[in-house]
């Protein structure tokens, strides 16, 4: 979600036919800023407190998987409890643990693909977002996948002969 926010695609992502849920601790530690409050007020982002059982499950994950951060473990515990949930992350360690635990996982490029297929965002804006991801050293996405999408989108943007 941080990468989507960087590329000004949060509104579009939250318009997708999914319920976006995040633990309150993650929201407070990594999200909470004045622009993010609009997502709370809009009802598009559901921030939930973790029940005690989820906190215990998160602690167990943290003890077993030293590469994960506590917020990763909170996400895992929440995704495990919420049936049919999809964990949205770019963190490879979190992805691996989630998949081993039977949790469906996707990343920001999956969101880009859906935004394109549902024509929610103009192709030019998606192309610009992908270029931003490619050029930002703090965005850790597979370069080959980014470039493949840019190339595909640019072909669609070319005027017909």
**With pLDDT > 90 as the criterion, what percentage of the chain qualifies?**
55
> What residues have CB less than 8 Å from 15, skipping those under 6 apart?
44, 120
Please classify residue 62 by burial: count the beta carbons closer than 10 Å to its beta carbon, then call 0-12 exposed, 13-18 middle and 19+ buried.
Answer: middle
| Structural domains of the chain, ranges and CATH numbers in brackets | 2-107 (3.40.50.1010), 109-157 (no CATH)
Q: Are 58 and 26 in contact (CB under 8 A)?
A: no
The tens digit of pLDDT for each residue in 17-46 reads 888 888 887 776 665 455 555 555 456 777
Question: What's the whole-model pTM score?
Answer: 0.84
What are residue 34's phi and psi, to 5 degrees?
Answer: -50, -40
121 vs 11, higher pLDDT = 121
């Amino acid at each position: 979600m941080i990468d989507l926010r960087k590329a000004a695609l949060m509104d579009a992502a939250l318009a997708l036919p999914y319920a976006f849920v995040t633990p309150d601790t993650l929201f407070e530690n990594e999200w909470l800023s004045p622009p993010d409050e609009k997502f709370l007020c809009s009802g598009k982002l559901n921030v939930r407190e973790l029940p005690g059982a989820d906190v215990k499950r998160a602690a167990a994950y943290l003890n077993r998987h030293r590469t994960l951060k506590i917020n990763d473990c909170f996400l895992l515990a929440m995704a495990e409890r919420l049936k049919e949930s999809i964990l949205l992350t770019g963190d490879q360690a979190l992805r691996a643990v989630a998949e081993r635990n039977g949790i469906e996982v996707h990343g920001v490029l999956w969101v880009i693909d859906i935004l394109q297929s549902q024509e929610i965002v103009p192709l030019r804006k998606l192309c610009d977002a992908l270029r931003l991801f490619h050029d930002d050293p703090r965005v850790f996405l597979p370069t080959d996948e980014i470039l493949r999408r840019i190339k595909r989108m640019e072909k669609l943007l070319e005027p017909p002969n």
